[in-house]
Amino acid sequence: MDSKRYLTPAQMKNDVLSGLTVALALVPEAVAFAFVAGVEPLVGLYAAFMIGLVTSLIGGRPGMISGATGALAVVMVSLVAQHGVEYLFAAVVLMGVIQIGAGILKLGKFIRMVPHPVMLGFVNGLAIVIFLAQLGQFKEKNDAGEMVWLSGEPMMIMGGLILLTMGIIHFLPKLTKAIPSSLAAIVVVSLLAIVLGLDARTVQNVLQDMTGDPLASIAGGFPKFNIPMVPMTLETLWIILPYSVILAAVGLIESLLTLSLIDEMTETRGRGNKECIGQGTANILTGFFGGMGGCAMIGQSMININSGGRGRLSGLTAAIFLLLFILFASSLIEQIPVAALVGVMFMVVIGTFEWASLRMMGKIPKSDAFVIVLVSGVTVVTDLAIAVIVGVIVSALIFAWDHAKHIQIRVLEEDDDHRVYELTGPLFFASVKNFNEKFNPKDDPQDVVLDFRNSRVSDHSALEAIDALAERYIAAGKTLHLRHLSQECQQLLKKAGDLVEVNVIEDPKYHVATDKLA
């Protein structure tokens, strides 16, 4: 991944400018996620800086942006409310340890098990989530302290600036690609709002609405090393462990899915296990430096990729600029109109949503269409990790159901005292019912042969079905011969073990998925 093409002057320029764009978009989201988790804004900003910095250096996917995310924030809020922010920092450290363990055990490869319809549903659901998240920016706090929708002139200004931002992002690349269109749009819209004195909502207004403090700011100092102030006891471990496991799982699922999506967009390949270790290392350091933890951010990653960011320098630049904003430029960043950032995110939504999936709904199997819609819906209602897990489970069940119907049994030869059945297709838990219904020992001749040459016994349920069938023939006073079973099947069968005909040359060799001891 880290080839010399990412070190050319042109690509390095793109990475730096793209990183600046991402850093501007990170500020309001990091602050918002911090409030979702119930912590101070700087806790979210420090997390975005630390995680972005570490994963850009040692992660498995150059060009991918990581930081504080909403999916993790909703898990953290309960822990913070019950035990305080120091327990959160401890949980984030343990979360990182678990993620490193997943990388060392090479569990990142299991992301390959996510079917394509699940990925489509994930992407579409994510686009919807990003869109819905922006709607909150169309509200402001009234005199009674309630969040109400913008109306009248403020809404017109907001809408006009959003459309201007989207127009610049769309049309500027047709004229020049010297600078990222998203960055140009943010700068132009910000200058326009300031010069014309437009009454537009700014990042400062968002901070004020979130905190209720008219002097709220993102200004701060360097993050300081701090061991979480929690009792080093077994009780503390039992408190944070469930949260750490969930955070680690959700973080890795989001990160690895984002990695796969960027792989597809850039036609390159990231390293999943290395990303697990990078995410884990980042979260450990973040927990010790007062950050809330995080994972890959698909919205910011899309901004980076669409702005030309490809190398590690883009993520590194985003993290450094974010820190510089906190240290020196908070007053300038707080004057950026929220409309500019919303416009950028709306363009991300348009670019992220797989519009082709709508056109192919009538052309793909109904089961795949159902999975796409299901995962999209669950993503919107719950979160991305749960949606992907549900999608994989449903896809697996559909696969099992379809293959259960593939098993076929036909008579190869027969006479008055002899009949040979040939079994074709996989014999496993979903097909055993169909298998059992194919035989009626009372109607069969005295001598019956069941040939497994074109079948495969896949699991314990299949073994039990064969044993039960043998018992039925024995009870009917008939002789059943089992031909061409693997050696392992022969060893695992109980009642039917003595009925197996052994053919050293033709019998297949494979292992059966079962916990049954030979």
Could you report how far apart the first and last alpha carbons of the chain are, in Å? 46
C-alpha triplet 343, 347, 351: angle, nearest 5°? 170
d(CA 262, CA 281): 22
| Cβ atoms of 65 and 348 closer than 8 Å | no
d(CA 126, CA 370): 17
- Which stretch of 194-198, 239-243, 490-494 has the lowest confidence by average pLDDT? 490-494
Rounded to the nearest integer, the mean pLDDT of the chain is 88
Last residue of a domain, one of 352, 368, 394: 352
Q: Indicate whether 149 and 46 sit together in one domain.
A: yes
- Which stretch of 171-180, 231-240, 312-321, 323-332 has the lowest confidence by average pLDDT? 171-180
Quick: pLDDT tens for 365-411: 999 999 999 999 998 888 777 888 899 999 988 988 887 777 888 99
Domain of 447, CATH number, reads 3.30.750.24
Categorize the per-residue pLDDT at 113 as very low, low, confident or very high, splitting at 50, 70 and 90.
confident
Q: Indicate whether 413 and 342 sit together in one domain.
A: no
* Helix, strand or coil, per DSSP, at residue 151: coil
pLDDT beyond 50 at 518:
no
Last residue of a domain, one of 352, 381, 397: 352
Q: Indicate whether 67 and 213 sit together in one domain.
A: yes
Q: Has residue 399 been placed in a domain?
A: no
d(CA 182, CA 160): 16
Last residue of a domain, one of 321, 352, 383: 352
Q: Indicate whether 331 and 465 sit together in one domain.
A: no
Q: Indicate whether 321 and 436 sit together in one domain.
A: no
Q: Indicate whether 35 and 163 sit together in one domain.
A: yes
pLDDT of residue 323: 95
d(CA 373, CA 227): 45
Exposed, middle or buried: residue 250 (CB in 10 Å: 0-12, 13-18, 19+)? buried
pLDDT of residue 412: 85
Q: Indicate whether 161 and 19 sit together in one domain.
A: yes
d(CA 420, CA 432): 19
Q: Has residue 391 been placed in a domain?
A: no
Q: Indicate whether 189 and 332 sit together in one domain.
A: yes
Q: Which residue has the higher pLDDT, 113 or 307?
A: 307
Q: Indicate whether 293 and 410 sit together in one domain.
A: no
- Which stretch of 357-361, 413-417, 512-516 has the lowest confidence by average pLDDT? 512-516
Categorize the per-residue pLDDT at 363 as very low, low, confident or very high, splitting at 50, 70 and 90.
confident
DSSP state letters, 12-55: HHHHHHHHHHHHHHHHHHHHHHHHHHTS-HHHHHHHHHHHHHHH
pLDDT of residue 516: 55
Q: Has residue 484 been placed in a domain?
A: yes
Torsion of CA 28, 32, 38, 44, to 10 degrees: -40
pLDDT of residue 517: 45
Residue type for position 153: E
- The two tokens of residue 95 are 């979360």
Categorize the per-residue pLDDT at 73 as very low, low, confident or very high, splitting at 50, 70 and 90.
confident
Looking at residues 466-484, what average pLDDT do you find?
89
- The two tokens of residue 278 are 């990078």
Q: Has residue 376 been placed in a domain?
A: no
DSSP state letters, 168-192: HHHHHHHH--SS-HHHHHHHHHHHH
Give buried/exposed letters for 447-483 (b at 16+ CB in 10 A, else e): ebbbbbeebbbbbbbbbbbbbebbebbeeeeeebebb
pLDDT of residue 5: 59
Q: Has residue 514 been placed in a domain?
A: no
Q: Indicate whether 184 and 48 sit together in one domain.
A: yes
Quick: pLDDT tens for 440-454: 999 999 999 999 988
d(CA 129, CA 109): 27
Categorize the per-residue pLDDT at 155 as very low, low, confident or very high, splitting at 50, 70 and 90.
very high
Q: Percent of the chain, pLDDT > 70?
A: 96
Looking at residues 327-336, what average pLDDT do you find?
89
Nearest CA to 438 out of 417, 407, 482 is that of 407
Looking at residues 221-244, what average pLDDT do you find?
94
Query: What's the number of domains the chain is made of?
Result: 2
Nearest CA to 76 out of 257, 291, 323 is that of 291
Looking at residues 132-139, what average pLDDT do you find?
86
Q: What is the pTM of this model?
A: 0.74
Q: Which domain holds residue 104?
A: 9-352
| Cβ atoms of 307 and 182 closer than 8 Å | yes
Q: State the chain's maximal CA–CA distance in angstroms.
A: 100
Q: Which residue has the higher pLDDT, 485 or 278?
A: 278
pLDDT of residue 361: 87
Q: Is the dihedral of CA 489, 491, 497, 498 positive or negative?
A: positive
Q: Has residue 348 been placed in a domain?
A: yes
pLDDT beyond 80 at 36:
no
Nearest CA to 95 out of 225, 222, 228 is that of 228
Categorize the per-residue pLDDT at 504 as very low, low, confident or very high, splitting at 50, 70 and 90.
low
Q: Has residue 297 been placed in a domain?
A: yes
Looking at residues 120-136, what average pLDDT do you find?
85
DSSP state letters, 198-257: ----BHHHHHHHHH--TT--------------S--SHHHHHHHHHHHHHHHHHHHHHHHH
Q: Has residue 378 been placed in a domain?
A: no
Q: Indicate whether 346 and 487 sit together in one domain.
A: no
Q: Indicate whether 42 and 187 sit together in one domain.
A: yes
